[in-house]
Structure 1
Amino acid sequence: MSNETSAESEKKGVLAGFREFLMRGNVVELAVAVVVGTAFSKIVDAIVKGFINPLVGAIGTQDLDHYSSCLKGSCKIDPTTGEVTEGVALNWGPVLSATLTFVITAAVVYFLMILPMNKYKERQAAKAGPVEVPKTEVELLGEIRDALVAQRTDSDGSVDPVGAGPSAGADASVTPPRSGGVSTEK
């Protein structure tokens, strides 16, 4: 019976841990970023194919995938398959297309998402005022030490004996000895 109870509690613990993992801000934010990024990449691809490729196509072919250079000899391409039959071709067109897509994506994300969010956070931080940084243990212990030293120091600048409190002055009485002796007062 105890094995069933521990298995159930372990199962609940695992499920609770999994739920806590999913509800963390980072996981949710990451999921949203992936969804938005996927949708956004379609927009960027459309911009590259609709605007950038025609601009580049003004100096050559409209499809960047056909840009290549021949490294060795003259390259001959089979018109039916599009494969290189002679020579060694260096296809730099797809690399250029991917680079343009990346640069445009990064620029749009930065200027339309990151920059406005940073400005918004700066304004919110300015409205909130200065944030007090919590002190470390070492700083707190140093303050306690300084306060204790200040408590022990007289107004004259002399230091009271260790263990003497603020009431240890000239008119303090001496406690009688426990052996039954005579008490004396100053």
Structure 2
Amino acid sequence: MSEKKPSVWEGFKAFLMRGNVVDLAVAVVIGAAFTNIVNSVVKGIINPLVGTIGTKNLDTYNSCIKGPCTGVGDNATGVRILWGSVLGATLTFVITATVVYFLMVLPMSKYLARMEARRKAKEGTQEVMEVTELEVLKEIRDALIAQRGSGHDGR
């Protein structure tokens, strides 16, 4: 009388078939593709705009905090703070967050608010109809009682 435990494979299949896992996988794939677009915008538009002030590559902006800072990349000496890289990553994040908010989150929030308002309006209409029907039935009842009462008094 022992119950058969589901196999690991069956559990894994059930996990994969849940809707939220598939939605998450789709979101990750779209997010990766979207990241490429944002990176292209930063490298192709933002960096050249910043380049009008200095260099086109934000990664070259740095500050030397110790020793003589010479060379580039692996041949560099001294201790540098690569604030240009941080600035580029911050711009990428801000652009991504802005686009996601204005193109995805805000429209979805407005849509959901509209749907909720419609649902509430529909419920309110049904309540008004129910109340009106109840009032009509009460009036009919009262009229029948009044008729019955006046009919009994005349006999």
For normalisation by structure 2, the TM-score amounts to: 0.68
Cα distance in structure 2, aligned partners of 1:22 and 1:10: 19
Pair 18,88 (structure 1): closer, same or farther in 2 beyond 3 Å:
closer
Matches within 5 A, 1:1-186: 9-11=4-6, 14-77=8-71, 83-85=75-77, 87-129=78-120
Pair 34,73 (structure 1): closer, same or farther in 2 beyond 3 Å:
same
Structure 2: segments with no counterpart, 5+ residues: 124-155
Aligned-pair distance for 1:74? 4.0
Aligned-pair distance for 1:84? 1.9
Q: What is the identity, as a one-letter code, of the residue corresponding to 2:45?
A: F
Aligned-pair distance for 1:16? 4.5
Q: Any runs of at least 4 consecutive aligned residues in structure 1 with deviations exceeding 6 A, and if so which?
A: none
Matched pairs, number: 123
Cα distance in structure 2, aligned partners of 1:24 and 1:15: 15
Which structure has the higher relative contact order (CA within 8 Å, separation 6+)? 2
Identity %: 59
Greater CA deviation, 44-53 or 16-25? Answer: 16-25
Cα distance in structure 1, aligned partners of 2:83 and 2:122: 52
Q: What is the identity, as a one-letter code, of the residue corresponding to 1:112?
A: L
Greater CA deviation, 59-68 or 20-29? Answer: 20-29
Deviations 1:102-142 (A, max 9, x none): 1111110011001101111111111111799xxxxxxxxxx
Pair 70,15 (structure 1): closer, same or farther in 2 beyond 3 Å:
closer
Deviations 1:78-99 (A, max 9, x none): 5xx66323x3221111111111
Cα distance in structure 1, aligned partners of 2:46 and 2:27: 26
Larger radius of gyration: 1
For normalisation by structure 1, the TM-score amounts to: 0.58
When the two chains are superposed, the root-mean-square deviation of aligned CA atoms in Å is 2.6
Richer in helix (by share): 2
Structure 1: segments with no counterpart, 5+ residues: 133-186
Richer in strand (by share): 1
Q: What is the identity, as a one-letter code, of the residue corresponding to 2:24?
A: L
